[in-house]
Amino acid sequence: MTANRIEFDTTRSTEFVDITDRIRESVRRSGLRDGCVHLQSLHTTLGIAVNENEPLLHRDFENLLERLAPTGAGYEHDDFSRRFDVPLGEPVNGHAHCRQLLLTAFATLLVEDGQLVLGRWQSVFAVELDGPRHRQLAVQLDGDFGRRRSDLPESLVEIELARQLMVDPDAVASPMRRLVEAGGKRLRPKLVQLTAAIGPRNDPLRAAELAAAVELLHNATLIHDDYVDESTHRRGRPTVAAEEGPERAIAVGDFYFAKATRLIAEMGNAGVTSALAEALEAICASQIDDVALRGAFPGDRESYLRVVRGKTASLFAAACASGALLSGAEPEVVAALRRYGDLLGIAFQMADDMVDFSPSSGKPVGLDVRQRVLSLPLIYAAEDRVVGPEIRRLLAGSLGDAEVGRVTELVTSCEALTRVRKEAQALVEDAVRELEAVELDGLRPALVGLALSAVDRQS
């Protein structure tokens, strides 16, 4: 079951708003194949109707409603002197409530083979009875969302990671095991597993092997990153560099870089090997750019996107493409998934940037500011007419606790976080749109769900 809201603004006191296409869009995006769409008006003066979209007929309906429940016909509801707790601005709308009683506040529509079941002349209307207003309808979609291949055998990846670490020398395996066992979202392995189920050669065991190798590769880059960024903690535990020194961190990172590339090569799929090798090169090149740009901190949006595309999005894109390639998916499917991963990776990084300014995230606030890491909220806040000058002045000096605290306060006080949130959401929308033109064999809902969860950093 999935749920969402349809929101719209009405422009007249009585109005028939055709929401058929909005419902069709909800069905399409959810991937519901066979089942029901439940609609519920969230208002007492907004009804729902299934009828023909013909303007003169709507006039007839309006006239009918006017005859049955005329405006200003002396409704007791409108006699405010006899009511308690009448809110300020309470409208005179007894007629609208009565008219809603004649309609309905609920509807259930059927879905078959991914299509809304409607007769030739049927459309679905939200019927405004007391407009103009902002309105909401609750939507729930229930039924068969495609085959169960989208249920990820995530435990296979964990078993594969444990198996790989078990055979490695303790000097490298122990630090990596601590990092792996500390958690992480495992988004990249999930992307590999999902996309590896799309083509005709779907093999969950091979997919888990590839997914584990991608996770090891990702963690190897993190170990070096933490040394470069002088980070003391990751996932709530001391970093390898902080705990065991930079020499050990470099060796552990190198070992798992090599091991992961070997495991990937041993899968024997040249396309997969190339896709991930290219991603690793893009990550390393972007790390150099990232550090170089810290001299011009906080930088600009263009530089930010260039770095993020290499540093984060390249591995998301390669994870998607490699899974699809492993499963023998068609080239246009691989290309669409690569674009999906790229957009998702950028959105993910933007959401990650916002966490740095959220006290409820469980992570230390302002760490990116302190380490002068590229961050889109900071870039936008520095451009802000009101708080920008002070932020730029603070960033130009040394950043102690007081300065970091003040910068964080200024960023959260302006529109920067809202802008970034909207931008991340728009990128997720774009990513989901990339999935529309290709046949994903019932896996679209899982990929859409993963995209939405990737930018929802509260969960």
What is the spatial distance between Cα 248 and Cα 238, in angstroms, rounded to a whole number? 14
**Residues facing residue 35 across a β-bridge:** 111, 143
Q: Count of CB atoms within 10 A of residue 194's CB?
A: 25
Residue type, 453: S
Tell whether residue 254 is a contact of other proteins (CB under 8 A): yes
Contact range with other proteins by CB under 8 A, out of 221-229, 328-336, 366-374, 427-435: 221-229
CB of 367 to other proteins, least distance (A): 17
Contact range with other proteins by CB under 8 A, out of 53-61, 83-91, 282-290, 449-457: 282-290
Quick one: which of 152, 156, 280, 319 contacts other proteins (CB under 8 A)? 280
Tell whether residue 285 is a contact of other proteins (CB under 8 A): yes
CB of 336 to other proteins, least distance (A): 23
Comparing C-alpha atoms, which of 353, 350, 379, 382 is closest to residue 366?
353
Quick one: which of 154, 158, 243, 278 contacts other proteins (CB under 8 A)? 278
CB of 203 to other proteins, least distance (A): 19
Residue with tokens 């969860």: 453
Q: Which helix (H) or strand (E) holds 214?
A: helix 204-228
Q: Count of CB atoms within 10 A of residue 3's CB?
A: 12
Which residue number, 100 or 312, has a Cβ lying nearer to other proteins? 312
Distances (CA, A) of 203 to 71, 146, 267, 273, 376: 66, 18, 12, 18, 39
Distances (CA, A) of 292 to 303, 356, 394, 398: 11, 21, 20, 18
Number of residues that bind other proteins (CB under 8 A): 40
Tell whether residue 338 is a contact of other proteins (CB under 8 A): no
Tell whether residue 309 is a contact of other proteins (CB under 8 A): no
CB of 180 to other proteins, least distance (A): 16
Count CA atoms within 13 Å of residue 208 on its CB side. 16
Which residue number, 195 or 261, has a Cβ lying nearer to other proteins? 261
Quick one: which of 188, 248, 338, 444 contacts other proteins (CB under 8 A)? 248
Tell whether residue 228 is a contact of other proteins (CB under 8 A): yes
CB of 106 to other proteins, least distance (A): 57
Give all strands (DSSP E) within 219-320, no chain letters: 233-234, 237-238
Binding site for other proteins (CB under 8 A): 168-169, 171-172, 224, 227-228, 230, 245-252, 254-255, 257-259, 261-262, 265-266, 268, 270, 273-274, 276-278, 280-281, 283-285, 287-288, 291
